[in-house]
Amino acid sequence: MDFLSDTLILSRMQFAFTAIFHMLWPVLTTGMAIYLVIVESLWLKTKNPDYYHHARFWSKLYVLNFGIGVASGSPMAFQFGTNWAPFSESVGDFFGSVLGFEATMAFMLEAGFLGIMLFGWQRVNPIIHYIATICVAVGANLSTFWILTANSWLQTPAGGDFVEGKFIVKDYFAAIANPFMLKSVSHMFLATLETSLFVIGGISAWYILKKRHQAFFAKSFKIVLAVAIAITPLQIFVGHLSAEQVYHHQPTKLAAMEAQWETIPAGEKADWSLLAFPDEKTENNKWEISIPNAFPYILEFKSRLSEPVLGLKEWTPENRPRMVGLIYYSFRLMSGIAFVLVGVMLVSTIQWLRGKLSEENIIQQKWLMISWMWCAPLGYLAVESGWIVRCVGRQPWTVYGEIRTADAVSNLPAGDVLTSLTIFLCLYTVLFFSALYFGSRIIAKGPKFDLPLPGDDKDLPVEVDSAQHIPDSRPI
């Protein structure tokens, strides 16, 4: 229990907890915003009321996630000033402004048009409403861009120099377009969309299994599947590119991801560790299951390595990531889930081509619907695992190669940090169960098919009471 008196560990735990919790909500909203654009465009094109009711139903879950995301995300920004003040002072000129862009450009765009998207159906022209929905989706995904830009800069700082411990920006655009940015943003964009697709698909499968609005949710299920056919394999490819950039820019993280203790020279064949038990005390793997000669194929699609893969022993213990086992299995969990989702997508596509997903037959696919329900939370697990690899693997650096985490933490009493961590644990637990309660109520109620279509009420007579004349009774 020594960590209870360690400010650094407690501050890291607090930031990790708030980040892991907060991430649950924007992961769904950013992807679901794109789904809402799709169903609204289908409604505008076909005038099929089902698509309109889809937009109205799924937007309720969107708003619930948006609200919890805003509530849980705000404290994270303040922690940079309270728990990580030396870090903020050192890199604030760039890092702070990027987070400011996220708040002013992305969040304001999303929040500003959200009101029209929710309440403007009967008040504005359908095209104006559609533009508002697009703006909400753009704003949500701009958040992904700026947050991943900031985090990528922490992984591969660029665009300036550190002078006496302070980052001086020389080229702002070079800092934004740092080596990690493009592939990281692409990987996260696909992750949010894929997670949202399987959540919507899983909920649709639940309705189909319950025989509630079967034909209606068969539509949402097939829309999700049509998009997943393109997204799921693309995500694996982009994920590979992300791992490749770790190979070139962060060799310590790659060594931890693979529990590689000894250096593998360039030009060598190497086995790929499928499962292992890394032991940091003895600096080896106590046991390991490997696939012969597979590592170069997985890393570079080549039979031999073009560059050496440095082992963890190349660095002293204080200069390498801790918790190697956590990083190793988080990476495998994320990768494994990606292949599971592709497998479910492939089987579903085959059944679709065989005509088994028609409105009449889809209820017969019970095993497939159950699979989609089980897949609904897998995207979240993959995203959280990926962020563990990304941020725990960066240690012991907050800014890779420049600022150690131990030097970035504020000099606060451990008791104060423990108190704030406890408060966050309590508040976020309440938020989590509140979200589950209200989300389950929205799903239990289902879509409202009696909502009037936009424009349907334009010919209704307007009831206006004639003004009643009240004589002036004041004395003259």
Alpha helices in 172-323 (DSSP H): 172-176, 181-209, 214-249, 251-257, 295-300
Residue 461 CA, distance from chain mean position:
48
Contact 276, 259 (CB under 8 A): yes
* Model pLDDT, residue 454: 84
Beta bridge partners of 264: 309
Residue 47: DSSP 8-state: -
What are the phi and psi torsion angles at 474 (to 5°)? -70, 145
Residue 156: DSSP 8-state: S
* Model pLDDT, residue 90: 92
DSSP helix/strand/coil, 404: strand
Contact 418, 4 (CB under 8 A): yes
- Ordered per-residue pLDDT tens for the chain, 476 residues: 777 788 999 999 999 999 999 999 999 999 999 999 999 999 999 999 999 999 999 999 999 999 998 888 888 888 988 999 999 999 988 998 998 888 888 888 888 899 999 998 888 999 999 999 999 999 999 999 999 999 999 999 999 999 988 999 999 999 999 999 999 999 999 999 999 999 999 999 999 999 899 989 999 999 999 999 999 999 999 999 999 999 999 999 999 999 999 999 998 889 999 999 999 999 999 999 999 999 999 988 888 988 899 999 999 999 999 899 999 999 999 999 999 999 999 999 999 999 888 888 888 889 999 999 999 999 999 999 999 999 999 999 999 999 999 999 999 999 999 999 999 999 999 999 999 999 999 999 999 888 888 876 555 555 555 666 777 777 66
Contact 26, 192 (CB under 8 A): yes
Beta bridge partners of 279: 284
- Tell me the pairing of strands 284-291 and 397-399: unpaired
CA atoms within 13 A on the CB side of 261: 16
Rg of the Cα trace of the chain? 26
Q: Which residues contact 118 (CB under 8 A, 6 or more apart)?
A: 59, 63
* Model pLDDT, residue 291: 94
